Amino acid sequence: MTPLRQKMINDMALRRFSPKTQEAYVAAVGGLARHYKQPPDKINKQMIQEYLLHLMQARKLSWSTCNVAVSGLRFFYTQTLGLDSMFLSIPPRKKVSQLPEILSAEELERLFAALTNQKHRALLMTTYAAGLRVSEVVSLKVTDIDSQRMMIRVCQGKGSKDRYTILSKRLLTELRIYWRMYRPSVWLFSSMNPKQPLTHRTAQQIYYHAKDKAGIKKGKGIHTLRHCFATHLLEAGVDLRTIQMLMGHSSILTTMGYLQVTRKHLSATQSPLDLLEIPQNTRLPKQ
């Protein structure tokens, strides 16, 4: 490991960046260095801008991937190298706003029914029933399931915050069946090595496999189940503040975004067309 790379890692550790963020930022700088086959501290502003255009136009990477690269490069040059932020001259990119696709109750039933592997079934049910991020569900330990209080402890979720979320009675039954079959010791969902948790990638693959088997086309990744959790709670009449706490959102504005995809909220809104007294067209077209 080069001293420059170690310095960047130390700078991120001092700011308590998550391991995932550190890995992504280091990869962003490494990608730039490999592209030009030069040390990153020898690359000038024009080269950086051309590299970002290469990511967007030639490689056609998604907004989120390009944004991580921009953030990683900005941190390296401004924090690790101590250059002025004007050195980069990278304009902020407007975030692409997309509403999540929500699975219906019938689609969720098909999704879970498609799984014959109890571990996979318990994994996806836990993700949906507790509204967890993929990083949170794979990091659950056996001791995080509190059956006495019917709660699940989420340790160091996004933003390095702990929280509690609900433990459904149905999920507890599924987890007990799973525990009797697999006897997990430390991690609730371990990898092939019992001492290591399941990877994010494996959890995503389990979701994609179940979705394909159930013939479901909607929804992108396993994060869809978290979106479904929030939306279905809103439709059931749970207040936004409670959902915010269960989801671990820092701002209630994030939680309010689910109002845009809530069927109950939208269907209760009357179209202004229905308020107009328009005579019905009684003239039928000629045959």
Q: Which residues are catalytic?
A: 133, 158, 223, 226, 249, 258
Distance CA 86, CA 103 (A): 45
- Distance from C-alpha of 24 to C-alpha of 65, rounded to nearest angstrom: 10
> Rounded CA gap, 127 and 123, in Å?
6
Return the structure tokens found at 221: 């990744």
* Strand pairing category for 151-157 and 145-146: antiparallel
Q: CB–CB of 50/58 below 8 Å?
A: no
The rounded distance, in Å, linking the Cα atoms of 37 and 122 is 46
Neighbours of 29 (CB within 10 A): 22
The answer to whether the CB of 39 falls within 8 A of the CB of 31 is: no
d(CA 134, CA 205): 12
> For the residues of 153-192, what is the DSSP string, one character each?
EEEEETTTEEEEEE--HHHHHHHHHHHHHH--SSBSSB-S
145: β partners: 152
Listed residue (38, 71, 66) closest to 52, CA to CA: 66
